[in-house]
Chain A
Amino acid sequence: MPENPALALPRPSAAGNLLRHARYVLAGNPVTAFSFLLLLFLLGCALLGPSLVPHDPQASNALRALQAPSAQHLFGTDQLGRDILSRVVVATRLDLGIAFFSVALVFAVGGLAGVAAGFFGGWTDRIVGRLADTIMAFPLFVLAMGVVAALGNTVTNIVIATAVVNFPLYARIARGEALVRRNAGYVQAARLTGNGELRILLTTILPNILPIMAVQMSLTMGYAILNAAGLSFIGLGVRPPTPEWGIMVAEGASFIVSGEWWVALFPGLALMLAVFCFNLLGDGLRDIVDPQRRT
């Protein structure tokens, strides 16, 4: 075995260590550092955006419809003369919100189910496994469409649909991680010290797989945004006139051929940037959490 001299060095504290590790990873990885900055920017838009934008994102003006980018309208205007920059910025909150809540939901349900399946095995495993298999056997995007179509196209249902299609992924990852740890020494030790199985699951297994799940959550955030955009393109998205990137791209798509490229391009870029950010961030987090398994 190659000896790793770094491991032999004394280490001060967990938090400090993680911070230093993060800094090390970021310094050696400008792409991840960039994605962190991007995330801060997006969060800034989501929190402060509505009070910063130059125009009312919903105010139409038929006289100014479909104007190319100019000093007054940096991103141009759309079919109804609304300021695209304002709409793109304001949409950040909704899009990030959809992504965040769907990921939180799937983590809570899928992650927990997966951990239980991996840890308890037996029937729990079989039921969760079957459920995940059944969902996997569906084409995911079509399933998401079906869920939204069946429940109605509200933000809540988009969140639910995104969570449902991600369930197998989370359940599988959590199951795998729990399975590896099910008979780890410290879990056996916890049994010896009188912890019940459920308690071990919640206090021992779950916290230990959190970092790996965090990586997945970041990657899924990007997918959730894309998913919502795809649903919007089909016409199952958020209700108009609420600004949302997917709808804006879908609406703008019909103007590309006629030369009004800005209508679709800027929301498309925002969408891409956000998904890009979360994907890179997920990669970066993986480097920090688990350098061995970066994919």
Chain B
Amino acid sequence: MRRRTLIASASAALAAPALRPAAAQPAPTRAETLLLVQEYGPNSLDMQGIGSSQPVNGVALNCYDRLVRYKRVALPGEGNGSTFDITSLEPELAESWQEASDGMSCTFRLREARFHSGRPVAAKDVKWSLDRAVSIGGFATTQMNAGSLEKPEQFVALDDRTFRVDYVRKDKLTLPNLGVTIPFVFDSELAIRNGGGDPWAKEWLKNNVAGSGAFRVEAFRPGTETIYVRNDDWKSGPLPSLRRVIARDIPSPSTRRALIERGDTDISYGLPPKDFKDLAEARRVKVVGVPVPNAIWYVALNATTGPFTDVRLRQAVAWALPYEAIMQASLFGRGVPMWGALGGPTTAWPQPFPYSTNLARARELVQQAAPGGVTTSLLFDAGSGTIAEPMAVLVKEALAPIGINVELSKIPGANFRGELNKKTAPMVINRFGGWLDWPDYFFFWNYHGNNSIFNIASYQNPAMDRLIDAARFAADADTYAGAVKGFIGLAEQEVPMIPIAQPLHDVAMQRSIGGYQFWPCREPDFRFLTKG
């Protein structure tokens, strides 16, 4: 399946440094050291552990290896780096793999790699790591389950370098799910030895890396900085050109912008869209923006309780939203419009809905459904306030003239998920993104009657559920395409959530920085970065 991106994908050969470093290394020079600033860093070194924050993905990515990674696809434009194709896999720790003829298992051949401890990577390490991922609970287990990786019995170490995954069901997500930042491989002996009786060594792995990845962690100071140094013995890919990476936590976005603008940092992560827009226009630094696959900013309307149980009011809101204004004033153009589609639904995702700003139609629908008008409240996460707050203010202002009075409620980050779990919020601004880039995956979380936390609209429709389930386990492409078009069409009709834009994931870097790689987890991959 072709993934839709803003920029048409093209393939390009990626130059990799071919020289092996000498045995005795001088200290890394500034040119070999990368400085990156981000809002906050990892709170753990173990992405499988409970409560790990978003930046821990970066540790998993750079310090550990997975069996496979996604095929890297160059982004258009000189030196803009690459994105990925989730449907085609490349070797990482596994040098080859073969799916069984019945399609119910896959056997991996491991390459001769060594952990940072010097011990060779063995199949038992892979088994231990995947067993851990499905057993540890929390996010790691949930993510594994999303690819039908559910129990340790599925993972079999055949010999030192042969490893098999047995499927519980045929699931197109199973193999791609081995490429995300959860099923990475630990040095199981080292972990168990230091685990202090805990079979999964949770505490120890939180503060220690036991991997075979391209980088080791030299210093881990949560809330301050994380320093990575290259593992010169890395086998799962070309040796990185960076020898040292310093990732500093700088909470103030203004400072992060100032640092990149003045050339005091190499890469600046997580700026407000306004800053990315300015930086991109000024062209002094490079801004690489990749539309985040399977991610959307949307307004959810509660279809189970409150005023928006009436579909006409939901449609009225969809017709009333000031899409252009939001795109300009809230996202500053750093997104892909998700409104004003002409023609029926396609199988692409995300794709624009057929709504656009049309106050007359909106007013008419409100007149029909609630002539006296409606008063309601709109929730948004204070944590993403830079974008959500102006968006909310614009929504409030746009809805007032059609008779929908909105009170804004800014929910502190910690409470936001709790509020969503209550399932009572009439109107919510949210952004959802799924790592596994399939529309049925998105719909499963956001529209399915099993009512996950992300079905913010609490939308319940058996017809929708049937279509989603049909697509998830469709045997052939046509059935799949039919189901996908079916549920997208239904969503456009029923609008429990109104897509606004697909966000761009922006990163600002000095012009000298090359080899940028975008992955589903969105964290920077130091393995391919070059400087100078």
Contact = CB atoms under 8 A, between A and B. Distances in A.
Asked whether the complex places CB atoms of A and B closer than 8 A, the reply is yes
Contact of B322 (A62, A79, A235, A240): A62
Contacts of B407: 239
Given A240-B392, A254-B253, A257-B258, A235 B325 contact: no
A255 B257 CA distance: 10
Contact of B329 (A62, A235, A254, A258): A62
Interface in A217-243: 235-236, 239-241
B171 interface: no
A210 interface: no
Contact of B397 (A58, A153, A236): A58
Interface stretch (B231-239, B383-391, B446-454): B383-391
Contacts of B392: 240
B329 A79 contact: yes
Contact of A60 (B261, B272, B329, B412): B329
B412 A236 contact: yes
Interface residues of B, number: 30
A142 interface: no
A80 B274 contact: no
Given A60-B329, A235-B385, A258 B274 contact: yes
B443 to A, nearest CB: 31
A240 to B, nearest CB: 5
Contacts of B324: 62
B254 interface: yes
Contact of A62 (B254, B325, B382, B389): B325
Contacts of B253: 254
Contacts of A255: 274
Decide if the interface of chain A is mainly helix, strand, loop or mixed. loop
B272 A65 contact: no
A256 interface: yes
B393 A241 contact: yes
A60 B328 contact: no
Interface string A40-67: 0000000000000000001110100100
B409 interface: yes
A258 B410 contact: no
B328 A65 contact: yes
| Highest count of chain A CB atoms <10 Å: which of B255, B322, B393 | B393
B394 interface: yes
A267 to B, nearest CB: 16
A238 B178 CA distance: 45
Contacts, number: 64
Decide if the interface of chain B is mainly helix, strand, loop or mixed. helix
Interface string A240-268: 11000000000101111110000000000
Nearest to A62: B325
A6 B111 CA distance: 100
B275 interface: yes
Contacts of B408: 239-241
Given A62-B322, A236-B412, A80 B254 contact: no
Interface in B257-304: 257-258, 261, 272, 274-275, 278
Given A62-B325, A235-B412, A80 B257 contact: no
Nearest to A236: B412
B329 A80 contact: yes
Contact of B410 (A58, A80, A240): A240
Given A62-B322, A65-B328, A81-B329, A240 B393 contact: yes
B334 to A, nearest CB: 14
B394 A80 contact: yes
A10 B80 CA distance: 88
A239 B408 CA distance: 7
A39 interface: no
A253 B412 CA distance: 20
A256 B393 contact: no
Using C-beta atoms within 8 Å of the partner chain, give the interface range for chain A.
20 to 34
Given A60-B329, A239-B409, A79 B274 contact: yes
Contacts of A251: 389
Contacts of B274: 79, 254-255, 258
A251 B330 CA distance: 12
Contacts of B385: 235
B396 interface: yes
A60 B397 contact: yes
A260 to B, nearest CB: 9
Nearest to B322: A62
A59 B401 CA distance: 12
Given A60-B393, A62-B328, A81-B329, A257 B257 contact: yes
B399 to A, nearest CB: 13
Contact of A59 (B254, B258, B275, B397): B397
A80 B393 contact: yes
A149 interface: yes
A60 B410 contact: no
A156 to B, nearest CB: 15
B253 to A, nearest CB: 6
Contacts of B386: 254
Contacts of A257: 254-255, 257-258, 261, 275
Interface string A149-161: 1000100000000
Interface in B401-449: 407-410, 412
A158 to B, nearest CB: 13
A235 B278 contact: no
Contacts of A60: 325, 329, 393-394, 397
Contacts of B390: 79-80
Contact of B254 (A65, A153, A254): A254
| Highest count of chain B CB atoms <10 Å: which of A80, A149, A251 | A80
A255 B332 CA distance: 13
Interface in A142-185: 149, 153
Interface in A54-95: 58-60, 62, 65, 79-81
A71 B408 CA distance: 32
Nearest to B277: A258
Contacts of B397: 58-60, 241
A79 B328 CA distance: 9
Given A60-B329, A80-B329, A239 B410 contact: yes
A65 B329 contact: yes
Given A58-B397, A62-B324, A62-B329, A258 B278 contact: yes
A153 B409 CA distance: 9
Interface in B309-355: 322, 324-325, 328-329
A41 B83 CA distance: 58
A204 B234 CA distance: 84
B272 A254 contact: yes
13 contacts: A59-B397, A60-B394, A65-B328, A79-B390, A239-B409, A240-B392, A240-B393, A251-B389, A254-B274, A255-B274, A257-B255, A257-B275, A258-B278
Interface of A: 58-60, 62, 65, 79-81, 149, 153, 235-236, 239-241, 251, 253-258
Interface of B: 253-255, 257-258, 261, 272, 274-275, 278, 322, 324-325, 328-329, 382, 385-386, 389-390, 392-394, 396-397, 407-410, 412
3 closest Cβ contacts across the A-B interface? Answer: A62-B325, A257-B254, A241-B393
Given A80-B393, A235-B382, A257-B275, 17 more contacts: A60-B397, A62-B324, A62-B325, A62-B329, A62-B394, A153-B410, A153-B412, A239-B410, A240-B389, A240-B393, A240-B408, A241-B397, A254-B254, A254-B275, A255-B274, A257-B258, A257-B261
